[in-house]
Amino acid sequence: MSSLSTPTEPSRWSRVWNSNIGYSFRRNPVAIVSLMIFLLIAIMSIFAPLIAPFDPYDLGQIDIMNSEYPPLWVDGADAQFILGTDDQGRDLWSTILYGTRLSLLIGICAVVLQAFLGISIGLIAGYVGGRTDSLLMRLADIQLSFSTLMVAIIFLAVTQAMFGSETFNQYAIYFLIAVIGVAEWPQYARTVRATVLAEKKKEYVDSARVLGFGPGRIMVRHILPNSLSPIFVISTVQVANAIISEASLSFLGLGMPPSQPSLGSLISSGFDYIFSGSWWITAIPGIVLVVLVLVINLLGDWLRDALNPKLYKG
């Protein structure tokens, strides 16, 4: 008597790879290249202490006499500085690696804060409705009437004046995450609210109420999982926007200080030297910033199309 072998259940990776999203990803060369570039930048920035030949935070490794060395392909370069040096004598390659890590950290943490605030407010507004919905959405409308940069500039300028430059520079990363996160929560709130208004009328929500589940469990365990598709798309775009906001604020002198290099502060520190011939201090970090934001936006465009049920997937 032969025994029938039970089929093995496919792994989670196999299910994702063979899903509609996996198929869409394999058929989209732009998404593949964008993800490879983003992962390369992210991995190199995460492991910056292991890859970078110099530590830009260690004053013992910085010599002002090495300032403004050009990249290797320009006459007058020093072989130990691949991309040249900045105005403080720091190795630009090492500083870009550390600065990219800092910019990514600020962008991702700011988006996490945006998502937490926006999803919480959107769930409550859509599920409770009535005056609560009206009040929360009017707050979102007021917030949307101000640009992110304007709110951030006012907040950071007042904070810098209140605490002083030394304290502000010490906690600049936390101030940036807070102001960028708080300024952009309405994007999530309005999207989640619209999804909740459609989902709460469906039968599975009525069944959860009949079973005696409370509003909090229904919102988090039942309605929220059905709202994740637009949240993923918004998060991808918002990470790019947060990185741009950080770079803009640092360029204006309201972000990361020169002693804690980010891509924005690097671009700002080299702007005064761009017409004196030291163009690489601003140009190379600027190119890295443009490439990073571009690949994130391209991934967001692909994810939006892949998660859109109205588009034919083949």
**Domain annotation covers residue 31:** no
- Number of domains the chain contains: 1
**Domain annotation covers residue 43:** no
**Domain annotation covers residue 174:** yes
**Domain annotation covers residue 178:** yes
The string of DSSP letters for the chain reads -PPPPPPPPPPHHHHHHTSHHHHHHHT-HHHHHHHHHHHHHHHHHHTHHHH-SS-TT-GGG--GGGTTPPPTTSTT--TT-TT-B-TTS-BHHHHHHHHHHHHHHHHHHHHHHHHHHHHHHHHHHHHH-HHHHHHHHHHHHHHHTS-HHHHHHHHHHHHHHHHHHHHHHHTHHHHHHHHHHHHTHHHHHHHHHHHHHHHTTSHHHHHHHHTT--HHHIIIIIIGGGGHHHHHHHHHHHHHHHHHHHHHHHHTTSSS-TTS--HHHHHHHHHTTGGGT-THHHHHHHHHHHHHHHHHHHHHHHHHHHT-TTS---
212: domain CATH number is 1.10.3720.10
**Domain annotation covers residue 198:** yes
The pTM (predicted TM-score) of the whole model is: 0.83
**Domain annotation covers residue 50:** no
**Domain annotation covers residue 157:** yes
**Domain annotation covers residue 144:** yes
User: Per-residue pLDDT for the chain (314 aa), expressed as one digit of tens each?
Assistant: 445 555 566 666 666 666 677 777 778 888 889 999 999 999 999 998 888 888 888 777 777 777 777 888 877 777 788 888 887 888 888 889 998 998 899 889 999 999 999 999 988 888 888 888 889 888 888 888 877 778 888 888 888 788 777 787 788 888 888 888 888 888 888 888 888 888 887 788 778 788 787 878 888 888 888 878 788 888 888 888 888 888 888 877 777 777 778 888 888 777 777 777 778 888 888 899 899 999 988 888 888 777 765 554 55
Domain residues for the domain of 122 are 68-307
